[in-house]
Amino acid sequence: MDHKRATIKDIALALKLSPSTVSKALRDHPNIGVTTKERVKKLAEQLHFVPNQTAIRFKQQKSFTLGILIPSMLDHFYVAAVEGFEKFAYDNGYNVLIGQSHESLQREKELLLTMQSNRVDGLIIAISRETVDTTHINEFVQSGTPIVYFMRKPINEEYHCVCSDVYTGSIDAIAFFVSRMHKRIGFINASSYWTTSRDRFLGYRDGLIQHRIPFDKSLVQESDFTQESNFQATRRLMQLDKPPTAILAFKDQVMLDALSCLRRDFATRADSIELIGYGSNPMIQYLERPPLASLKEQPFEIGQKAGLLLLDLVNHPQTGYQPQLVKLPCELQVFSSYKQR
């Protein structure tokens, strides 16, 4: 057990070379002799030499690490986004530092500090539910580390962002509902501080307008994603004088809870209510009577795209002034049991 790891120095000493020569040899620097390179590499392998990233980072004043801040890994959507981001990062020689806010502003602030402390070269972030004020994020950016928002962008910030084109998604959903003769369409939305909520809403509203359906404020309810909140929103809709015959939900998790609520509390009417959510949660395939449809998003691609944009900012800090807004399309995916109706 060689408890002390081999360093460049060790190799240099053993081979009677200088550390700088060894360093260059290991990295195939052009002006090092072929034989020297061979000797160095051979010994390096024998000694199980592994370059010390810790030292390289320090020396280069660059962490080769990108950060990603998400609400929770228990949400399949964000896991997929992490996957895409990670793949992009690894392909470009970067590590990834993951942080979960668990929807807590306090935690988000702490994590931002951790990211700074670790000197991440850049960060992508989906803000927490509690994030109304964005001073802490602005300070982070001020300190020189570029960020890219993804999915959840503060509504009062103009900044780089990659997200789903939920506006068009909502338009499509409404059109599909209308084609199935629905005229009263409920909508369960999320935090009004996110552009992604606003865009969903605008699509919902404009979709109604396109089909000459009057907009009714009471048909729009807000939920915070907890099961209880999803249930309550559903109940509020169903207890209206003129309840909806169809519901568009902010995301599949909300839709599934709405479905549970309907079947439990409104059993007689449950089967006549049609539902569309966002996300295409893979578990839906296991339901015997799945909801009507889901707007399939592209979380993996969103993670990748956000990484691409971020790396560009990392390498060309001056491009930071013109905020980029990337929207990836959603696709309405109708579940099989409804297709042939």
Of 93 and 214, which CB lies nearer to DNA in the complex structure?
93
Residues 76-105 that bind its own copies (CB under 8 A): 76, 79-80, 82-83, 86, 95-98, 100
Of 216 and 224, which CB lies nearer to its own copies in the complex structure?
224
Residue 32 touches DNA, criterion: CB under 7 A: yes
End-to-end CA distance of the chain: 69
In the list DNA, its own copies, none, the entry touching 8 (Cβ below 5 to 8 angstroms by class) is DNA
Q: What is the dihedral of CA 227, 228, 230, 233, to 10 degrees?
A: 180
Whole-number minimum distance, CB 100 to its own copies, in Å? 8
CA distances to 45, 125, 150, 195, 204 from 198, rounded to whole Å, are 57, 18, 15, 5, 10
* C-alpha–C-alpha distance, residues 332 and 277, integer Å: 10
Residue 55 touches its own copies, criterion: CB under 8 A: yes
Residue 20 touches DNA, criterion: CB under 7 A: yes
In the list DNA, its own copies, none, the entry touching 32 (Cβ below 5 to 8 angstroms by class) is DNA
* C-alpha–C-alpha distance, residues 28 and 271, integer Å: 68
In the list DNA, its own copies, none, the entry touching 17 (Cβ below 5 to 8 angstroms by class) is DNA
**Strand stretches in the chain, DSSP E:** 65-70, 95-100, 122-125, 147-150, 161-164, 185-189, 220-222, 246-249, 274-278, 293-296, 325-328, 331-334
In the list DNA, its own copies, none, the entry touching 19 (Cβ below 5 to 8 angstroms by class) is DNA
Positions that interact with DNA (CB under 7 A): 5, 7-9, 16-21, 23-24, 26-27, 31-33, 35-36, 51-52, 55-56, 58-61
Positions that interact with its own copies (CB under 8 A): 1-3, 5, 48, 50-55, 57-58, 63, 73-74, 76, 79-80, 82-83, 86, 95-98, 100, 113-114, 116-119, 139, 142-144, 256, 259-260, 263, 283, 285-289
